[in-house]
Amino acid sequence: ASNSLDDAKNAKLQVMFGNNPLETRMSGGGELFVTQRVREENGTKTIIIDPRYSDSAQLLADEWIALRPGTDAALVAGIAHVLITENLHDQAFLDKYCVGFDEDHMPEGAPKNASYRSYIEGKGEDGVEKTPEWAAKITGIPANTIRRLAREMGTAKPCAITQGWGPQRHANGENQARAVFTLAAMLDHIGVPGGGTGGREASFGLPMVYPFNSTENPVETSISVFSWTDAVDHGEQMTATNGGVRGKDKLDVPIKMIWQYAGNALTNQHGDINRTVEILRDESKAELIVVSDIQMTVSARYADYLLPDLSTAEQEDVIQEGSSGNLGYTILASKAIEPLYDCRSIYWVCSEIADRFGVKDKFTEGRTQEEWVEYTIEESRKEIPELPSYAQLRDMGIWKKKGESVIPLADFREDPEANPLDTPSGKIEIYSQQLAEMAETWEFPEAKPGDKLTALPEHVDTWEGALEARENKDYPLQCISHHFKGRTHSSYGNVDWLRDDAHPQIVWINTLDAEKRGIKNDDLVIVRNDRGRIRIKARVTSRIAPGVVSVPQGAWYNPNKDGIDIGGSANTLTSLHPSPLAKGNAQHTALVEVEKA
């Protein structure tokens, strides 16, 4: 994580790569409040780099720089070229705290000219110098803008760099994220007030104790969250080198049972909904699907067993804090009404299942849900003496404490030998020997362009990326998605007055792209590719880069008799193909066409 956003008050310049706190962390006490207060009181210059002129760009930024999706690593390379040629990087920091920036600081056995500096200067394997002009052709950002940005970042002491989760949710997402980390290292603003690591922002947190379910899971085998459909479809074929299986060389069997609790990721929030539904409907694959929720969600439609859960109003629980700058808080949500109908809490359900397995006492440890809540508060008071008692907190509801700004890696910066990082070298690894070795052994079944591992955070052109968009006559528009005011992910996506009146589902399309297609604002359009079709209204605007469209994520999938999703879910258009290293979701990598309905 990077410095908490309240710490931007100590920065001379703040640069956000795909970071959009005003729309992704909208809670009243969260980053929406923190970022606006910091701007109001300190006026730190802010630059936001994003394909879309988000609310954060509109209300926080002094400048919006629009780039093509999936090209952040190319932009960083162009910036790095200026920093190196104009000696604006911090060589001393790179020498002391990093591995792989230049040829003098490479791990033993690394090939010649494999350093990041060699990659930037065109001495690496591809032989291409990463000038601002090179980066401009890929990113769509003018070369002079890249030069000016590099000089501003190189002379602002300190510069706070953060990134959202958008850059990493691409087919080359790991390299994009690593590139931004590398930029922060080049500028020597890691572990200091006003700086940052280049990651997503941290936030202050109370050291609450959560003693329930502290037993370690004896099963060590794991896969990436996004790979669950692969594990259902062909799990027995997944290995450590072709599917990212951890803790074991391969999976012995596919997933045969799915338990989906309090979420909509079984379909709606997962890639390529039409293909996912096809996998779920095949009863020879997942033989048992259980969904526990308080709404009849899209995912609930595909359950064999549907267990009605309790809402927050029907049970007592402790609410965890998150994304609140330097504010610490805890909430004790008291039960307001008795459970309706046959609804049961998930604690009750799991306790009953444990009873039938003969392990109820081990699971509950003799406590009810309410007793666990009380125990959680009282145990937390040992770490936070000023925390109100359980009885007091029941009356108060919420308790707040002002904390300190979070400065990650401050201890590492102070003494890297006493506080090494959790990397093979103990340092920031711009060149990863581990990735270089994995690149030699990993396999990519059904490989697509960009399916490869690189030891450096290089720009990699990928399937359905910016380069292919220029050449694909059928689907020339890059499609991303964004958070939407009418929903929290997919929650509230079924509230009719939000969905139909206040915040109807729309597709953002640039005025130039709309004009070419004869599309006017509020026209009903079809957004399509080979994976699916959605029908929604067009928002014709200059607030999105040319060649890019954005469909707000979370709308509920609702196919009509012709297979057109009239609910307008972005994941009707996205792919199940994972990113190469983490096997994570690449749902911002998709090409589409838009036409009048």
Q: Report pLDDT digits (tens) over 528-548.
A: 999 999 999 999 999 999 999
Q: Is the peptide bond before 158 cis (omega within 30 degrees of 0)?
A: yes
Question: What is the Cα–Cα distance from 139 to 67, expressed in whole angstroms?
Answer: 5
| pLDDT given at position 321 | 83
Q: Pairing relation of β-strands 288-293 and 305-308?
A: parallel
pLDDT at position 327 is 87
Report which secondary-structure segment, H or E, holds 14.
Answer: strand 13-17
Q: Phi and psi for 308 in degrees, rounded to 5?
A: -75, 115
pLDDT of 215 over the 60 cut: yes
CATH 3.40.50.740 placement within the chain: 225-402
Question: What is d(CA 462, CA 589) in angstroms, rounded to the nearest whole number?
Answer: 9
Tell whether the model's pLDDT for residue 18 goes beyond 60. yes
Residue 370 backbone phi and psi in degrees, to 5: -65, -35
Mark out the alpha helices in 196-311 (DSSP H runs).
228-234, 273-281
Q: Is the pLDDT of residue 29 over 80?
A: no
How many Å apart are CA 508 and CA 54, to the nearest integer?
Answer: 11
Residue 25's pLDDT is what?
80
Helix (H, G, I), strand (E, B) or coil at 317: strand
For 5-203+411-441, CATH number out of 3.40.228.10, 3.40.50.720, 3.40.50.300, 3.30.70.270 equals 3.40.228.10
Q: What is the pLDDT of residue 30?
A: 81
Q: What is the pTM of this model?
A: 0.96
Average pLDDT over residues 181-206: 95
CB-neighbour burial class of residue 75 (10 A; exposed 0-12, middle 13-18, buried 19+)? buried
Compute CA distances 125 → 73, 84, 483, whole Å: 17, 19, 39
Q: How far apart are CA 334 and CA 279, in angstroms?
A: 40
Burial class (CB within 10 angstroms; exposed 0-12, middle 13-18, buried 19+) of 284: exposed
Angle at 173 between CA 272 and CA 71, to 5 degrees: 105
Q: Cα Rg for the chain, rounded, in angstroms?
A: 25
The pLDDT score that the predictor gives to residue 28 is 52
More confident residue, 446 or 544: 544
What CATH number labels 225-402? 3.40.50.740
| Overall average pLDDT of the 27-43 stretch | 84
pLDDT at 322 over 90: no
Strands of 457-547, DSSP E: 477-480, 506-510, 524-529, 532-541
pLDDT of residue 185: 98
**Cα 548 to Cα 67: distance, rounded to the nearest angstrom:** 10
Mean pLDDT over residues 423-429, rounded?
A: 97
Residues 154, 143: contact at Cβ < 8 Å? no
- Write down the pLDDT at residue 27: 64
d(CA 420, CA 328): 28
pLDDT for res 305 = 97
State the span(s) of the chain assigned CATH 3.40.228.10: 5-203+411-441
The DSSP output letter for 497 is I
Q: Could you tell me the end-to-end alpha-carbon distance of the chain, in angstroms, rounded to an integer?
A: 44
Alpha-carbon gap, residue 232 to 342, rounded angstroms? 31
Q: Give the model confidence (pLDDT) of 323-348 as tens digits.
A: 888 888 999 999 999 999 999 999 99
The residue behind tokens 């799991």 is: 350
Q: What is the pLDDT of residues 77-113, one digit of tens each?
A: 999 999 999 999 999 999 999 999 999 999 999 999 9
Q: Indicate if the pLDDT at residue 588 is higher than 70.
A: yes
* Cα atoms in the Cβ-side hemisphere of radius 13 Å centred on 202: 20
* For the chain, percent of residues with pLDDT exceeding 90: 93
DSSP secondary structure string for all residues of 42-89: H--EEEEE-SB--HHHHHH-SEEE---TT-HHHHHHHHHHHHHHTT-S
Q: What is the pLDDT of residue 325?
A: 83
Give me the percent of the chain exceeding a pLDDT of 70. 99
Q: What is the mean pLDDT of the chain?
A: 96
Say which residue the tokens 């995912």 belong to. Answer: 299
- Residue 535's DSSP bridge partners are 526
Tell me the two tokens of residue 240: 């450590």
122 backbone dihedrals φ, ψ, rounded to 5°: 80, 15
Q: CA 576 from chain center: how many Å?
A: 16
Q: How confident is the model at residue 214 (pLDDT cuts 50, 70, 90)?
A: confident
pLDDT band for 47, please (50, 70, 90 cuts). Answer: very high
- CATH 2.40.40.20 residue window(s) in the chain: 466-596
Q: Under CATH, what is the fold of the domain 466-596?
A: Barwin-like endoglucanases (2.40.40)
Give ∠ CA 404-408-414 in degrees, rounded to 5: 105
What distance in Å separates the CA atoms of residue 105 and residue 118, rounded to the nearest whole number?
12
Say what the pLDDT of residue 216 is.
Answer: 84
pLDDT of residue 31 exceeding 80, the answer is yes
Q: Which amino acid is at 137?
A: K
Average pLDDT over residues 433-449: 96
Calculate the alpha carbon distances from 243 to 64, 240, 253 in Å.
38, 6, 14
CA–CA separation, 373 vs 393, rounded Å?
11
